[in-house]
Structure 1
Amino acid sequence: MVKFENGLIPVITQDYNTKEVLILSYMNEEAYKKTLDENALYYYSRSRNQLWKKGETSGNTQELICLTYDCDGDALLAQVIQKGPACHTGNTSCFFNDLLGTKATDVVSDVFDVIKDRKVNPKEGSYTNYLFDKGLEKILKKVGEESSEVIIAAMSKNKEELVYELSDLLYHSLVLMENEGVSLEDIKRELSKRR
């Protein structure tokens, strides 16, 4: 049975597909009931002293897939399908500050973040901005070229060259994704269906 201490219970919210922890927040009984009724996450803001629905203003909603409680009934784990970033800072997760220098980095996400930033904040001399400026046709041409180079590298049985060419293909695919409004979450969701 779920226990509300001083009217609140802590909620750890986790991405259902990636298992990444997104948020630590709180619910009161009203938020808890609304979450169960609507399959959307409601939290209780201690600083604003009010109920809030995740994504109501930002559009970065959380669809509830699974809600469990711990062995003592004094904490909840919500597994969700996250639309957009979970954190108000624009980060995927609220847990992005590295305290001990041991944070595992996701290089693909980091590169994609740089690509997204280049689109919003162009940088002179940036190859990424060159691709965005030239448009979809140029980006598609580069994806095609890199695909061919991956095939050639694989056929030559040169692992080092293959890694290099696959990295080029992935980078240009990320540029294409950003240009066309496809997120890493979209790709992760699709890949999770193929397990």
Structure 2
Amino acid sequence: MEIDFNKNNDGLVPVIIQDAATKNVLMLGYMNEEAFVKTKETKKVTFFSRTKKRLWTKGEESGNFLNLVDIKNDCDNDTLLITVNPVGPTCHKGTDTCWDEKNNQNFGFITKLENTIENRIKNADSEKSYVASLFAKGINKVAQKVGEEAVEVVIEAKDNNDDLFLDESADLLFHYLMLLQAKGFKLNDVVEVLKSREK
């Protein structure tokens, strides 16, 4: 790996730290060549502290280490992306990230959809909201709807109309997300079960 430690005349390159599982950015630090070598050797992320003017292994005092997963160099060879498995909060202020954000798993649009479903369950008028009206009928009706949508996906899978298959698949996923919330769960709970089965 070719890294240009001398591009900025200070021997340092910026290092973006990303959680390997959630893909959230946790912090930004700097490395010199010695810190880079130590990180690779120990498998614990080590920076060069610009204030202390020395190497600093994240977690050396707190125990909140950043366990190395992977290192990537950018196209200009002067910025590193390091994926880690963090132990505890990353920020020295005790937060998950240095931007005071929770390091929760996020599935992009699916997470947004889960939040919309949750909002409709709690706040929407059941006469105006499909989600609220279905929840008002109870978990048996929500589960029944998931079963109906699953059957429709199977039927469309046997035909050659991809648009109908995708429409029914979207309906199934939507209602499954509703059923998860009716049971007090979200998609991440299912993901954790799948991760526990990984070999």
Report the TM-score when normalising by structure 2: 0.53
- Which residue identity is paired with 2:109? V
Q: Which runs of 5+ in 2 are unaligned?
A: 1-13, 30-46, 50-55, 74-79, 88-95
Counterpart position of 2:91: none
Aligned: 1:33 with 2:36: no
Distance 1:90 1:76 in 2: 20
Residue-pair matches, total = 148
Counterpart position of 2:180: 177
Asked if structure 2 preserves the Cα contact closer than 8 Å seen for 1:22 and 1:92, the reply is no
Distance 1:88 1:174 in 2: 28
- Select which of 110, 113, 125 maps to 1:111: 113
Distance 1:81 1:140 in 2: 37
For the aligned residues, what is the CA RMSD? 4.3
Between 1 and 2, higher relative CO (CA 8 Å, sep ≥ 6) is seen in 1
Residue 152 (structure 1) shift: 1.1
Aligned: 1:164 with 2:191: no
Counterpart position of 2:190: 187
Counterpart position of 1:24: 27
Residue 68 (structure 1) shift: 7.8
Indicate the structure (1 or 2) with the bigger Cα radius of gyration.
2
Please identify, of 180-189 and 124-133, the stretch whose mean Cα deviation from structure 2 is larger: 180-189
Distance 1:150 1:67, change over 3 A: closer
- Which residue identity is paired with 1:79? V
Distance 1:81 1:142 in 2: 40
Distance 1:106 1:68, change over 3 A: closer
Counterpart position of 1:101: none
Report the TM-score when normalising by structure 1: 0.54
Q: Which runs of 4+ in 1 moved over 6 A?
A: 25-31, 67-71, 85-91
- Which residue identity is paired with 1:113? N
